[in-house]
Every structure is written in C-alpha cells, then in structure tokens.
Copies of this chain bind each other. A is one copy, B any other.
Amino acid sequence: MVGSVGNGSMDLREKEKVEPLPREFDPEEIVPPKPPLETEGAGGEEGSGKSREIVLGRNVHTMCFAIKEPEADDEVTGEREAYMASVLARYRRSLIDRTKHHLGYPYNLDFDYGALGQLQHFSINNLGDPFIESNYGVHSRQFEVGVLDWFARLWELEKNEYWGYITNCGTEGNLHGILVGREVFPDGILYASGESHYSIFKAARMYRMECLKVDTLASGEIDCTHFKASLLQNMERPAIVNVNIGTTVKGAVDDLDLVIKTLEENGFKDRFYIHCDGALFGLMMPFVKRAPKVTFKKPIGSASVSGHKFVGCPMPCGVQITRLKHINVLSSNVEYLASRDATIMGSRNGHAPIFLWYTLNRKGYRGFQKEVQKCLRNAHYLKDRLKEAGISVMLNELSSTVVFERPEDEEFVRQWQLACEGNIAHVVVMPNVTIDKLDSFLNELLRHRSCWYQKGNISPPCIAADIGEENCCCALHKR
C-alpha cells in the first residue's frame, strides 16, 4: 500500500521513509566557501574601466549565485525564503537599471505583458511541428499558427504554400534556413558576406558545408562584384546564399534584387537557394520607403526574423518561414527525421508565440509602421548630434543602427551596453530609445570625451576603413 501522495505534504511519516543519500554524496560540498549572497568576483577588473581579456574555453566565474542545500529547519525558520527573496529583489533592481541604460543591442525593451502573467503557471510546450498535433495538450499552437500566418502574409507567401515555426532566436532561424538550403542542394556552396551574423559561419561548420566569404562595401552591404567573381570560380556547384536584411554591426541591407540578378545572369538560374536573415530589419523594412522588398514573390527560399528585437519579448525568440515544398524535401527523408519534426529544436517554448501574438494583435501593421518611423527619426537625431560634435559617425539610409567611434573608456561602453567591434561602436535605436535617453547619453559621452582627449596624448581613432572617409572625423580626415 502506498502512503499519502499529496503534493508538497511534508508529514513526518513520509519524511522517515526517505532513503539516506548515498554515502559518497555530500550535498554540502556543493556550497562554495564564500557567503552565498555575495557574487564571486574572479579578478578585480570588473568596473575598473580596463578592457577585459576575452578567453575562449575558460569558465571564469565572474559572478555566481551559488545554490545552497536547504537546512533541515529551513521550512520552519523561513530563512531560505528570505534569502532567495533578497537575492531576487536585488537582482530586479539591477535589471531595472540595466534596462534603463541600454543602447547597443537591437532589443525593444519597451513591452507590457502584464495580461499574460497568469500563463507563467503552465508548462507550455509546442513539441515539434506547429502544424502537426501532438498528444501533449498544454501547447499554444493556435497562437503560433496565427503569428506564422501573419508573417507569411507580410512576406507574401500563400497560406497553403508556406511552412514555418517560432524559433528560440535569430540563430535558430539561420541554422534552419541554411539547413533547408543544404538539403535542397546537398552539393551547394554557401556564400555569405563577411558582415553576416556569426551563426551563418557556425552553420557552415556544423553542417560541413564549404563556405565562401564575400567582400562588403563600406556601408556593410555585400559586394556583388566580388560575389560574381566567386560564383564564376565555382560554376559547377549550386549556390546557397545568405542575404542580410540588416547586418549586425552596421545595419546594412544587402541588395536582394542585385544578388538575384547576379545569380541569374551568371548561369545559376534554378540552381540557387537564398536565405534572408532579417533578424532585426525583417520586421522594420516593410515600413521603410525605398527599401528593397523581402517577398517570396522573388526566388528566395526562406526568411527569418527575431521576435525579441523589434517586437520585444521577455525571452529570445524568432520566426522562420520557408516554402512548404522545401520542407517536403526534408520530410521525404524519414530516416532523417525519425519523427514528424522538421524543426531544429523539438521541444519549443510555448510562451513566446503568445507574446508575439499579443503584440501583433495590439499594434498591427500601423502600430509597427509608426514605431519604425519613430526609430528612424530618432536615429537621425542621434547621428546629427554626433556629427555636430565632431564625432565620426555613419547611419545607413534604411537603418536605425548608428555606427560611431568606439568610446575610449570601457566602463562607459559597459554602462551604456554599447556593442563594439574594433574601433567602432553602435547604438541601435529601438522603440524604447527616446530622445530623452539619447540626450542623456550624448551629454554623458561629450562630457567624458572631453576628458579622454583633453591632454592630446591620445586622439580619437580613425575609422575611415569602417565607415568611409567621408564619415570619419579623425585628425587626418576632418575637413
């Protein structure tokens, strides 16, 4: 006979039945010697303003909230609950501060999903294919498919001709798109501009594909002259091409039409697969005048966008749309799938589709259009103010990513969470980045900058190679 099994019941009879832990197993050893509320500092560089060394393959415990085995009397004293509540309260305060001072990553931090708070009690999992029911009932496929339909419509692919799913992030969209391309053309060579997101090159390595890096123009766009030359050297193998709808660093938009023209005019007609990585701009571009249109009416194979970027979402997510016929190529190989699942991940976060559904429904096309226009206006404002102050700066026409000289002080960079590469930094103007926020950033930058370069022993870096001479304000290029 089995005893009481009420959840969370803690009566003594049940307690007595618990087997002792195996002898070799000392739960206390998990606890590091330091007090748990303190975060462990590995090295004193934190906050010192010095640039941090990046070491691959080292597990540096800069900060860590250690997990401590509960004491036997924790339930009585309530100390455990109090400890955890204090950690969380502190953490929440730091999140508020970090959210306020954020400029460098393309994440819209302005969202209110209060109405969805009640759903956090459920383990929502959209197992496998969004269009194939699973027996697991706690899912959100009905929201997911609504969101997918919306994107398929945005990119002009008929409802019965598309396949897609809500991914865990932009990278998953890219991994999926490149994989579909490889399945369509197993012998294809992957072409991607050097400014493509690193997940594209990761995919090539994972999938054991040959990958050719294509040069870029100063704007960050793919250089189709060099692309053509690369194609001509590999006439015998099909082309799988990553087209950037907004590069990570400069927000440059590859010229999709020119890429297609280059392929078709050089003997690759019907022998290419294009994946459009629209991580950020995939959702902004439709609302920008003069932007080359991403549409499945053109011969593209797949398009992806991130959900936590322009839309805004508590956790990373994304949308991947491809042609149904390509999924059939994947799916026909049952040995590959060993299942009914053409996604990368299998188990998938069922909350993300609801967040996206909620925002798309509330804002609609017109809401996004308004926000895109606000972002572009504010990005121009930032660029103009930086230029007035004599700081090297570039803003691509279709973009809200403002590229400028990397601030001298790493602490300043970290405070504003700027993304940097070499001598350049960028601010991505998202809907939560207001003129007020830009003004306080600008004021602080100018104040600090006058100190950095005051003595004249160091001067602002030349970034002409990154943003073009005409945008560079270094001693050499200043006019």
Q: A2-B435, A315-B349 are in contact. Are A52 and B121 (CB under 8 A)?
A: no
Q: Are A27 and B366 in contact (CB under 8 A)?
A: yes
Chain B residues within 8 Å of A133, by CB: 52, 62
- On chain B, the residues within 8 Å of A109 by CB distance are 122-123, 138
CA distance A422 to B378 in the complex (A): 59
B80 to A135, Cβ gap below 8 A? no
Instruction: Given A179-B206, A346-B169, check contact A314 B123 (CB 8 Å).
Output: yes
Q: Are A137 and B417 in contact (CB under 8 A)?
A: yes
Instruction: Flag whether A99 is at the interface (Cβ < 8 A).
Output: yes
Contact A19-B56, Cβ < 8 Å, known A7-B434, A122-B95? no
Query: Which of A105, A179, A361, A436 has the most B CB atoms < 10 Å from its CB?
Result: A361
Given the interface contacts A30-B150, A341-B198, does A131 sit within 8 Å of B60 by beta carbon?
A: yes
Smallest Cβ distance from A415 to chain B, in angstroms?
9
> What is the chain B residue whose CB lies nearest that of A378?
B5
Instruction: Please tell me if the beta carbons of A17 and B373 are within 8 angstroms of each other in the complex.
Output: yes
CB distance from A47 to the nearest CB of B (A): 12
Assembly stoichiometry (copies) = 2
Q: Are B345 and A172 in contact (CB under 8 A)?
A: yes
A268 at the interface (CB under 8 A from B): no
Bound complex: CA of A370 vs CA of B10, how far in Å?
10
Distance between A8 CB and nearest chain B CB, rounded to angstroms: 8
Residues of chain B within 8 A of A358, CB atoms compared: 84
Say whether, besides A17-B373, A202-B338, A361 and B80 are in contact (CB < 8 Å).
yes
Bound-state CA distance A92–B117 (Å) is: 11
We find that the number of chain A residues with CB closer than 8 angstroms to chain B is 172
Question: Which A134-171 residues have a C-beta within 8 angstroms of B?
Answer: 135-138, 140-143, 145-147, 149-150, 153, 159-160, 162-163, 168-171
Given A2-B377, A7-B431, check contact A142 B364 (CB 8 Å). Answer: no
Q: Is the CB of A131 within 8 A of B58?
A: yes
- Asked if A181 is an interface residue, CB under 8 A from chain B, the answer is no
Report whether B364 and A58 are in contact in the complex, using a CB–CB cutoff of 8 Å: no
At the interface, yes or no: A275 with Cβ under 8 Å from chain B? no
A121 touches B131 (CB 8 A): no
- Which residues from B are CB-within-8-Å of A286? 22, 25
Docked complex: A25-65 residues within 8 A CB-CB of B: 25, 27, 29-30, 32, 39, 52, 54-65
Given known contacts A60-B132, A136-B102, A374-B5, is B314 in contact with A120 (CB within 8 Å)? yes
- Expressed in whole angstroms, the Cα–Cα distance for A255 and B126 within the complex equals 32
Instruction: Kindly state the separation between the CA atoms of A263 and B313 in the bound complex, as whole angstroms.
Output: 47
A168–B115 touching, CB < 8 Å? no
Residues on B with beta carbons closer than 8 Å to the beta carbon of A5? 374, 377-378, 434-436
Contacting residues, chain B, for A124 (C-beta < 8 A): 95, 314-315
Interchain residue pairs with CB less than 8 A apart (5):
A7-B431, A21-B366, A66-B146, A105-B135, A135-B418
For residue A152, give the distance in angstroms from its CB to the closest CB of chain B.
Answer: 9
Q: Are A59 and B324 in contact, with the CB atoms below 8 A? A: yes
> Is the beta-carbon distance between A98 and B138 smaller than 8 angstroms?
yes
- A449 near B: Cβ within 8 Å? no
A411: min CB distance to chain B, Å: 11
